[in-house]
A and B are shown apart, each in its own frame.
Chain A
Amino acid sequence: GQQLNQSPQSMFIQEGEDVSMNCTSSSIFNTWLWYKQDPGEGPVLLIALYKAGELTSNGRLTAQFGITRKDSFLNISASIPSDVGIYFCAGLLSEGAQKLVFGQGTRLTINP
């Protein structure tokens, strides 16, 4: 079946550092979504990407939809303690498709 390979699986950084994570797949996606999950909560949408090459920012977060439509990255600049959590990429395989395929998640830990 379709899979998203998300890396790294975990990150341990100092407060103030920049963070970068990515997702790749052998399949072509029409939409990429990035979610964050805090402990005890459901995933919350951070950024949605709809076109190949699209670069979108949301505050300190920046994400891009790869030109090949098989990858996406998420960057967080100047990390702060509340950025701690698990970040998931998710993709939709075709326009109008409703089945999200999720990556395995990147667990971010920040040392103050």
Chain B
Amino acid sequence: DAGVIQSPRHEVTEMGQEVTLRCKPISGHDYLFWYRQTMMRGLELLIYFNNNVPIDDSGMPEDRFSAKMPNASFSTLKIQPSEPRDSAVYFCASSLGSPGNTIYFGEGSWLTVV
């Protein structure tokens, strides 16, 4: 079975540009998560969705970040305008909500803002 699929795998962009990261969760999973990983802060939850509805976006750094999930098989994380401090690895993950649920991660999108 296909796992969580993210694109792009790597992106280098200039400060001020818009960045869009994409995610396809595992088919049938009803929860989708966006995480950010940096050396300084480790893995941080940015936002998560249940059945395409945003449930908790308290981890989103600021208004420059936005996430959408228009359907069960696709989500985007957008940064506009991007800043150098946004450089990080962004992971999408999904799970099937149930007691004892397990969260599966994609391979990540490695973002560098110069």
> Given the complex, which residues of A lie within 8 Å of B43, measured CB to CB?
43, 88, 102
Instruction: Flag if B107 contacts A41 (CB, 8 Å).
Output: yes
Contact count A vs B, C-beta below 8 Å: 53
Cβ of A42 within 8 Å of any chain B Cβ, yes or no, is: yes
Number of interface residues of B (CB under 8 A): 25
Q: Which of B42, B50, B104 lies at the interface centre, i.e. has the most chain A CB atoms within 10 A of its CB? A: B42
| Chain B residues within an 8 Å CB radius of A48 | 100, 102
**CB atoms of A96 and B99 under 8 A apart:** yes
Tell me whether A82 is interfacial, beta carbon within 8 Å. Answer: no
> CA A81 – CA B56 in complex, angstroms?
39
Contact for A98 among B50, B105, B106, CB less than 8 A: B50
Q: How many residues of chain A get a CB closer than 8 Å to chain B's CBs?
A: 22
Contact B95 A43 (CB under 8 A): no
Main secondary structure of the interface of A (DSSP, over half): loop
Is there a chain A Cβ closer than 8 Å to B12's Cβ?
no
Q: With A43-B91, A48-B102, A50-B100 given, name 9 new contacts (CB 8 A).
A: A31-B100, A35-B105, A40-B107, A42-B93, A42-B108, A45-B103, A95-B99, A99-B56, A100-B33
Write 13 A-B pairs (CB below 8 A) sorted by A numbering.
A31-B100, A35-B105, A42-B91, A42-B105, A43-B43, A45-B103, A48-B100, A50-B100, A96-B99, A98-B48, A98-B95, A99-B45, A100-B45
